[in-house]
Amino acid sequence: MKPVKTPAGSNDPAASSEPEQVRAKLPQDQPFGWSAYAERINGRFAMLGFTAVLVIEVLSRDTFLHWAGLVP
């Protein structure tokens, strides 16, 4: 068997060639899916729901899980 020639200073045969860079091409305007607007609205409703749970716990002086009937 003949030895594999590699670049000077390298003992790894896989280092003999540069890997090809591949980049995905994404459309600029996505008609559906993740968007900044959807994320902003979702975040605002999540904050509103969390605040509502805190208000329910303060006013009822009971945990949300107990108030909702999930814990006896």
- Chain segment 9-49, per-residue pLDDT in tens: 566 656 656 667 778 776 666 667 778 888 999 999 999 99
| pLDDT at position 62 over 70 | yes
Average pLDDT over residues 57-66: 89
**pLDDT value for 11:** 64
pTM for the full model?
0.48
Contacts of 12 (CB under 8 A, 6+ apart): 6
The secondary structure of residue 42, as a DSSP letter, is: H
Contact 15, 7 (CB under 8 A): yes
